[in-house]
Structure 1
Amino acid sequence: MKYAAKKVLTLIITLFIVSLLAFLAFQIIPGDPTTKLLGTEATEAAKEALRAELGLDRPVLVRYWDWLTGFLTGDMGTSYSYHMPVSDMIGQKLPITALLTVISFFFTVVLSIPLGVLAGSVRSRALDSFFTALDQVVMSIPAFFIGILACYIFGIVLRVFSPGDFVSYTEDWGRCISYLILPALSIAIPRIAMTVKMLRGAILNEQGQDYVRTARSRGNSRRAILSRHVLKNALIPVITFLAVSAAEIMTGTIIIEQVFTIPGIGRLLLASISNRDFPVVQAIVVILAAWIVIVNFAADLLYQLADPRIRLR
């Protein structure tokens, strides 16, 4: 219980620090939203009037406190560019990004575990070298480059889909999911390679333990030892790694949404940065940071449940 309480306290402090840094960062970076909204020809008087209207003339800490209390109650402010509540804008985009994250995570889990078991159980030196080399190559390819290749091969050459088109889940769930398969695989493939490498290493490490030699001496088959003992222990760190991957997958959607022109929060974030729409940017950054922190918190608790030795430390 103490372990969980400490983690909850750390989570709250981390989220507070992240929100403060995110807010302060957009106060010091170059670029004035009034110039973006009024144009470079606007007079200083007009800019000052707009700054007063937007509340940008108040002290930074006062603005942060107002923004934080509003954020905690669901009021994320109003977009400078679109003049609509930020919460409504994010509410329209977040389900698409969340769906893409879920599909990517599904592919990561379903494909990486059997491939990792296969890579860790092969006895041929040639196959082992092949798996190792292939894994290293795939891990080194960025997800956005895989996405670009997928767009070119399946969109332009094979014409499986039309690059730039998108059907929202509000119109047709089936077509929406089918469009998200290639982007999801583009995100998942590097994560699959990392998970395969980790699971392979964990299996090989467990196979050298004393309990495996004891099981062999008692006449257990290699397959029985792998399924009953080795895999159970090897999956403990891998499950935690997969939980952490869920956070990284969501942040990875930002670039992939640009590649496949998916109208999620990734595209909204980049467009808002370009427009100096700070309320939108701040809200998305804090949401992404909160997602990462919460998922890591859940992964720590999951690892503690899977490995009781952590509680003793």
Structure 2
Amino acid sequence: MRYAAKKLFTLIITLFIVSLLAFLAFQIIPGDPTTAMLGTQATPEARAELQAELGLDRPVPVRYWDWLTSFLTGDFGESYSYRLPVAGLLGEKLAITGVLILMAFLFTIVLSIPLGILAGSIRNPVLDKLMTALDQVVMSVPSFFLGILTCYLFGTLLRVFVPGDFVSYTQDWGAFLSYLILPALSIALPRVAMTVKMLRGSILEQLGEDYVRTARSRGLPRGEILRRHVLKNALLPVITFLAVSAAEIMTSSIIVEQVFTIPGVGRLLLSSISNRDFPVVQAIVVILAAWIVVVNLVADVLYQLADPRIRLR
């Protein structure tokens, strides 16, 4: 209970600091939302009138307090560009990005665990070196570059899909999910390679432990030793890494959405930064920060549950 309370307190403080920094950042960077909305030819009087309408003429502490208290009640403000409530604007975007993140995470688990076990238990030195080299290559390629290659190969050459086209889940769930497969794989593959490398190293480390030699001396087959003893211990650091990968997948999805022109949170964030749409950017930044903090908290809890011998202080 004490550990959970400490983590919850840290989460609240972290999100408060992130919200403050996100709000203050847009008060000091160059650019004025009224100029983006009215154009460079607008008169000073028109800009002053719009600033008063948007509440930008009030002191910064007052505006931050009003924004924070409204945010905590679910009111994220109104978009400067779209003149719509930010909460409603984010609804569909968060659903699209959430499905993309979930698919990428599932691909990471489904592909990395079997490949990592195979890489850690393989006995052929040639095949082992080949898998290690391939793993290093895939791990070093950024997700956005994989996305570009995927668009060119499957979109331009093989014409499996039309680059730039998109089907919303509100129209056709099947087409929506099929369109997200390649972007999700582009995000997942570098993390699959990292997880395979980690699991392989963890398995090889466990195979050198005394309990494995004892099991061998008792005549237990190699496969049974791996299945009953080695994997249970080797998977412990991988569980934490996979949980943390959920946060990394979220950040990668922002760029990959641009490559595949997916109308998710990433594209909305980048366009809102360009348009100085502060309420939208602030809401997205805080939501993304909350996701990262919660994921790291879950990773800590999972690690404790996986190994009761660990007691974090």
TM-score in terms of structure 2 length? 0.98
Structure-to-structure mapping, 1:247-258, within 5 angstroms:
247-258=247-258
The answer for the alignment partner of 2:246 in structure 1 is: 246
On the 8 A contact 1:80/1:279 being kept in 2, the answer is yes
Structure-to-structure mapping, 1:214-225, within 5 angstroms:
214-225=214-225
Aligned residue for 1:79, secondary structure, equals coil
Partners of 2:3 and 2:204 in 1: CA distance: 31
On the 8 A contact 1:119/1:128 being kept in 2, the answer is yes
Identity %: 76
The answer for the alignment partner of 1:300 in structure 2 is: 300
Residue 67 in 1 paired to residue 67 in 2?
A: yes
Partners of 1:237 and 1:5 in 2: CA distance: 24
Q: CA deviation at 1:27?
A: 1.2
The answer for the alignment partner of 1:131 in structure 2 is: 131
Structure-to-structure mapping, 1:1-313, within 5 angstroms:
1-311=1-311, 313=313
Aligned residue for 1:136, secondary structure, equals helix
Q: 1:136 to 1:309 in 2, by over 3 A?
A: same
Deviation string 1:196-245 (CA, Å, 9 cap, x unpaired) is 01111111111111111111111111110000010011111101111111
Partners of 2:20 and 2:220 in 1: CA distance: 58
Q: CA deviation at 1:312?
A: 6.1
On the 8 A contact 1:4/1:301 being kept in 2, the answer is no
Deviation string 1:94-150 (CA, Å, 9 cap, x unpaired) is 100000111111100000000000111111222222222111111110101111111
Partners of 2:60 and 2:218 in 1: CA distance: 71
Partners of 2:33 and 2:215 in 1: CA distance: 68
2:246 is aligned with what amino acid?
A: A
Q: CA deviation at 1:309?
A: 3.1
Partners of 2:202 and 2:293 in 1: CA distance: 26
Partners of 1:249 and 1:203 in 2: CA distance: 25
1:99 is aligned with what amino acid?
A: V
Aligned residue for 1:165, secondary structure, equals coil
Q: CA deviation at 1:308?
A: 2.4
Deviation string 1:47-101 (CA, Å, 9 cap, x unpaired) is 1221111111111111111111111111000000110000000002110000011
On the 8 A contact 1:154/1:161 being kept in 2, the answer is yes
Aligned residue for 1:309, secondary structure, equals coil
On the 8 A contact 1:3/1:311 being kept in 2, the answer is no
Partners of 1:312 and 1:249 in 2: CA distance: 26
Aligned residue for 2:311, secondary structure, equals helix
Structure 1 stretch 189-198 or stretch 52-61: which is displaced more?
A: 52-61
Deviation string 1:241-286 (CA, Å, 9 cap, x unpaired) is 1111111111211111111111111111111111111100110111
2:51 is aligned with what amino acid?
A: R
1:81 is aligned with what amino acid?
A: S
Partners of 2:309 and 2:160 in 1: CA distance: 51
Cα root mean square deviation, aligned: 1.0
Aligned residue for 1:263, secondary structure, equals coil
Q: CA deviation at 1:307?
A: 2.0
On the 8 A contact 1:108/1:191 being kept in 2, the answer is yes
TM-score in terms of structure 1 length? 0.98
Q: Which stretches in structure 2 are left out of the alignment for 5+ residues?
A: none
Q: CA deviation at 1:41?
A: 1.2
Q: CA deviation at 1:31?
A: 0.8
Aligned residue for 2:56, secondary structure, equals coil
Q: How many residues are aligned here?
A: 313
Partners of 1:285 and 1:56 in 2: CA distance: 20
Partners of 1:272 and 1:266 in 2: CA distance: 10
Q: CA deviation at 1:310?
A: 2.8
